[in-house]
Amino acid sequence: MGLESNNLENTAGEIWGMVKEQLSQKIPPAAMFTWFNDDKCEPIDLDKHTLFLRVNLSFSKKVIEYRFSSIIVSILNDILSCDDAELIILAKDGDFIY
């Protein structure tokens, strides 16, 4: 399900939507709602193969990084047709947010 090479101008929101669609097939619905609901986790930037997400709480950031980041990065690698995707999560209550 990789992107066509001539369609590299995808926004963070478009990529995150694709990631969430695949992620929802791999984790329980309660986990999707708890950690990835639109008001709790939002895309803020896509820089080449790095997706930046913003969450409300540092606690959420830690849980997502520990429990879900490897799954998300694997999905990103598939979507972006690469093997070096990265996920950066920023928390509104603790990290510098641009």
Instruction: Tell me, yes or no, whether 1 lies in a domain.
Output: no
Instruction: Tell me, yes or no, whether 17 lies in a domain.
Output: yes
Q: How confident is the model at residue 1 (pLDDT cuts 50, 70, 90)?
A: low
The neighbour count for residue 85, using CB atoms within 10 Å, is 21
Rounded percentage of the chain residues whose pLDDT exceeds 70: 86
Q: How confident is the model at residue 4 (pLDDT cuts 50, 70, 90)?
A: very low
Instruction: Tell me, yes or no, whether 64 lies in a domain.
Output: yes
Q: How is residue 70 written in tokens?
A: 């490897």
Instruction: Tell me, yes or no, whether 66 lies in a domain.
Output: yes
Burial state string for 7-45 with b = 16 or more CB within 10 A and e = fewer than 16: eeeeebeebbebbbebbeeeeeeebbeebbeeeebbbee
pLDDT higher than 60, residue 71: yes
Instruction: Tell me, yes or no, whether 6 lies in a domain.
Output: no
Instruction: Tell me, yes or no, whether 59 lies in a domain.
Output: yes
Segments forming the whole domain that contains residue 57:
12-91
Q: What is the mean pLDDT of residues 64-90?
A: 97
Q: What domain count does the chain have? A: 1
Instruction: Tell me, yes or no, whether 30 lies in a domain.
Output: yes
Q: How is residue 56 written in tokens?
A: 């409300």
pLDDT higher than 80, residue 3: no
Q: What CATH number is associated with residue 41? A: 3.30.300.180
What SS3 state is found at 18?
Answer: helix
Q: Which of 60, 66, 24, 22 is nearest to 42 (CA)?
A: 60
Enclosing H/E stretch for 86: strand 86-91
pTM: 0.85
In this predicted model, what pLDDT tens digit does every residue of 12-24 receive, in sequence order? 999 999 999 999 9
Instruction: Tell me, yes or no, whether 82 lies in a domain.
Output: yes
pLDDT higher than 70, residue 98: no
